[in-house]
């Protein structure tokens, strides 16, 4: 398969405007004749469904939770980037574009990233108009703070709950369309298969999570906005309900999966405290604006932090990266935290932690200023750890957080299945090998509010779509396959729980394909995953039935997908003989321990095709071209 990214020609600053003008339009009177499906109601899904409904399309929006307000987008705490340059500190659309391409270690398309930077300025206007309560200066203008990977203040925020406030804005827009009858919300429902007819995406098979009833939903186009796949690692900052089933089932129907090994470890998470944990808690990257990261200079120093004098502390990020200090990108901060802990200088009972200390900031700015900026984050930390971060430093350690890989999409956010569009974290498109902080919210809203309404309309106006009924053989085949998959999980009657398999899979992934990877470990991981998957299908125990609420059954389907996806992640990591961004192969690093890319041999998007159970996936490469930001060794010193 040859991949056509459909990136417009000509100057990059004119590309999106030219593309929009050249797209075909659907007459306003004809929009009501088109039915669309949006799966997911987080920032990307809610903004897309609301905007498409506003345009006059008939939209069904499927919500995994009981309400769109529970989407995992609320967990994005720190802020959202935009090139407004309100601080007058040198920011611009081009600088945001440059920082994002560089921050992604030159593994993202220039065209997509520039469009994202352009749309960023409109996103802020949109959200302010919706009433999102961004922080403001004394005079009333919007306030900014800095995030990792940038030397300007471009991150707009609402204390430490930016994602929640942005989601409420999108939710209100969505509910307006629900009230108008343009959007039908279908909550507590999980997509289990994609219906493909004549090579085009025409609907989904879904399961009601309360009653267990399967249903078929048909449309002219399907939009997936279902988030990332970080929970393949079991312990992550993702909500437990976050899963990859929708995009993985679409992958098995023919959508290529791009760059699965590009996973991001977040440096600012509360450390693991015991085997009983089922997830980890993120402390926002925004804390690195005012918190200083340090460890003792001496190995094995177990004194309380207040007993360690200043000259016996190692502020290692400030020492190694003086230009960016504590605001280096996430992959750099994470690897350095692991390195000092591996040296035996980690803090806490396990030694897997570093200090994030606000003493200097409190002394300089005052407690009330810190409380105004981060108060809810400090409260959350204290509730979880029973330690007061106003008085003692926070303890943090890297954890699985975000996934840059996802379904391959072209410039119009369409997958390799015509009519299947993929938004937000579910696609691979904008972040390359590493995501800069405060860019996920930006991408989700850009995709939903400002890109999909044009590209979906272009698809509808350009395609010949026959009427499809539930009796169509392809529809019935998808429904039957889903029924058989559920029956198979229930019929095993083994002795192990779903969670026990998931926890073991997650440990394999974290140990051998986590913060660092090497060829021997990846080969071993692939073999162990295959063996564990075989045991899963022979020794799984799912109590209950499929005819009512059954969370063990829900988890079983997702973990079955995680086994296949976990293997693909390791295969992709083994194939990519370089280090870049969040993909750190131990064999490929500079003498200073930084990631060492191989642009000549690996300057491409790796798009994998599903070839059947147990078969080796098929690799298709999309070469990346850099005209405006030439690849160089990333330096934050």
Number of Cα atoms under 13 Å in the Cβ half of residue 466: 8
Sign of CA dihedral 325, 328, 330, 331: negative
**330 has catalytic annotation:** yes
Tokens (6 digits) for 110: 């220039």
Q: What stretches of 213-358 show up as alpha helix (H) in DSSP?
A: 245-252, 316-320, 330-342
* Closest CA relative to residue 579, chosen from 262, 342, 333, 337: 262
The answer to whether the beta carbons of residues 209 and 186 sit under 8 Å apart is no
Beta-sheet strand order (sheet of 144-145): 80-81, 155-156, 144-145
Secondary structure (DSSP) of 431-500: STTSPPTT-HHHHHHIIIIIIHHHHHHHHHHH-------TTSHHHHHHHHHHHHHHHHHHH---SB-HHH
The one catalytic residue in 107, 154, 207, 330 is 330
Neighbours of 271 (CB within 10 A): 23
Write the CB contacts of 222 (distance below 8 Å, at least 6 apart in sequence).
Answer: 36, 37, 39, 194, 201, 202, 203, 204, 419, 420, 421
Write the CB contacts of 87 (distance below 8 Å, at least 6 apart in sequence).
Answer: 144, 152, 153, 154
The answer to whether the beta carbons of residues 244 and 403 sit under 8 Å apart is no
Neighbours of 390 (CB within 10 A): 14
Give the separation between CA 422 and CA 618, rounded to whole angstroms: 21
Which residue has 């162990």 as its token pair? Answer: 528
The answer to whether the beta carbons of residues 135 and 158 sit under 8 Å apart is yes
The 10 Å CB-count burial string (b at 16+, else e) for 492-501 is beeeebbeeb
The answer to whether the beta carbons of residues 159 and 96 sit under 8 Å apart is no
Give the separation between CA 301 and CA 341, rounded to whole angstroms: 12
* Closest CA relative to residue 563, chosen from 335, 265, 244, 92: 244
Beta-sheet strand order (sheet of 214-218): 189-197, 200-208, 214-218
> Could you give phi then psi for residue 392, rounded to 5 degrees?
-130, 155
Give the separation between CA 246 and CA 244, rounded to whole angstroms: 6
The answer to whether the beta carbons of residues 79 and 57 sit under 8 Å apart is no
> Could you give phi then psi for residue 196, rounded to 5 degrees?
-115, 125
Report how far apart, in Å, the C-alpha atoms of 23 and of each of 91, 454, 461 are: 31, 7, 9
Which residue has 């005209």 as its token pair? Answer: 627
The answer to whether the beta carbons of residues 226 and 192 sit under 8 Å apart is no
Give the separation between CA 266 and CA 401, rounded to whole angstroms: 6
The 10 Å CB-count burial string (b at 16+, else e) for 106-116 is bbbbbbbbbbb
Which residue has 């000509």 as its token pair? Answer: 10
The residues annotated as belonging to the active site are: 330
């Amino acid at each position: 398969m040859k991949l056509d990214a459909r990136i417009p020609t000509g100057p990059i600053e004119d590309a999106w405007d030219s593309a929009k003008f050249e797209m075909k339009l659907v007459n306003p009177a004809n929009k009501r004749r088109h039915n669309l499906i949006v799966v997911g109601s987080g920032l990307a899904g809610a903004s897309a469904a609301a905007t498409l409904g506003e345009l006059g399309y008939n939209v069904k929006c499927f919500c995994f939770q009981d309400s769109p307000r529970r989407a995992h987008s609320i967990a994005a705490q720190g802020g959202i980037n935009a090139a407004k340059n309100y601080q007058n500190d040198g920011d611009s659309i081009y600088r945001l574009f440059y920082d994002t391409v560089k921050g992604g270690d030159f593994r993202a398309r220039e065209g997509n990233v520039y469009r994202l930077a352009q749309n960023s300025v409109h996103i802020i206007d949109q959200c302010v108009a919706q009433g999102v309560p961004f922080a403001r200066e004394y005079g009333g203008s919007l306030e900014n703070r800095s995030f990792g990977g940038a030397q300007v203040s471009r991150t707009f925020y609402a204390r430490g709950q930016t994602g929640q406030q942005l989601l409420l804005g999108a939710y209100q827009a969505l509910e307006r369309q629900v009230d108008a009858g343009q959007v039908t919300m279908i909550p507590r429902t999980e997509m289990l298969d994609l219906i493909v007819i004549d090579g085009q995406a025409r609907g989904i098979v879904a399961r009601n999570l309360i009653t267990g009833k399967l249903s078929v939903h048909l449309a002219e186009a399907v939009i997936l906005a279902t988030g990332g796949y970080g929970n393949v690692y079991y312990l992550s900052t993702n909500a437990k309900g976050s899963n990859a089933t929708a995009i993985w089932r679409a992958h098995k129907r023919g959508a290529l999966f791009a760059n699965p090994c590009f996973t991001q470890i977040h440096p600012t998470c509360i450390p693991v405290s015991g085997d009983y944990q089922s997830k980890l808690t993120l402390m926002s990257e925004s804390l690195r604006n005012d918190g200083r990261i340090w460890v003792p200079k001496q190995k094995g120093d177990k004194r309380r932090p207040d007993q360690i004098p200043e000259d016996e502390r190692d502020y290692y990020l400030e020492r190694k990266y003086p230009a960016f200090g504590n605001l280096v990108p996430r992959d750099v901060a994470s690897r350095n935290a692991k390195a000092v802990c591996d040296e035996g200088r980690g803090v806490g009972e396990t030694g897997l932690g570093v200090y994030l200390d606000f003493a200097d900031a409190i002394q300089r700015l005052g407690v009330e200023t810190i409380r105004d900026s981060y108060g809810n984050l400090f409260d959350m930390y204290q509730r979880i750890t029973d330690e007061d971060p106003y008085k003692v430093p926070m303890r943090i350690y890297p954890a699985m957080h975000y996934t840059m890989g996802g379904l391959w999409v072209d410039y119009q956010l369409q997958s390799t299945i015509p009519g299947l569009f993929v938004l937000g974290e579910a696609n691979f498109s904008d972040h390359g090998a590493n995501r800069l902080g405060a860019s996920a919210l930006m991408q989700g809203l850009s995709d939903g509010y400002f890109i999909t309404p044009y590209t979906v309309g272009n698809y509808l106006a350009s395609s010949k779509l026959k009427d499809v009924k539930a009796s169509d053989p392809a529809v019935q085949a998808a429904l039957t396959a889903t029924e058989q998959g559920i029956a198979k999980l229930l019929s095993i009657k083994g002795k192990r729980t779903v969670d026990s398999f998931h926890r073991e899979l997650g440990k394999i992934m974290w140990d051998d394909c986590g913060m660092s990877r090497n060829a021997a470990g990846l080969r071993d991981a692939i073999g162990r995953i295959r063996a564990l998957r075989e045991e899963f299908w022979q020794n799984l125990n799912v109590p209950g039935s499929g005819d009512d609420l059954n969370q063990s059954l829900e988890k079983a389907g997702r973990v079955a997908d995680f086994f296949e996806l976990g293997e693909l992640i390791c295969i992709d990591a083994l194939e990519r003989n370089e280090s870049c961004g969040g993909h750190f192969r131990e064999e490929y690093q500079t003498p200073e321990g930084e990631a060492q890319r191989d642009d000549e041999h690996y300057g491409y998007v790796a798009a994998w095709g599903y070839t059947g159970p147990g078969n080796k996936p098929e690799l298709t490469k999309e070469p990346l071209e850099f005209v405006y930001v030439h690849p160089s060794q990333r330096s934050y010193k």
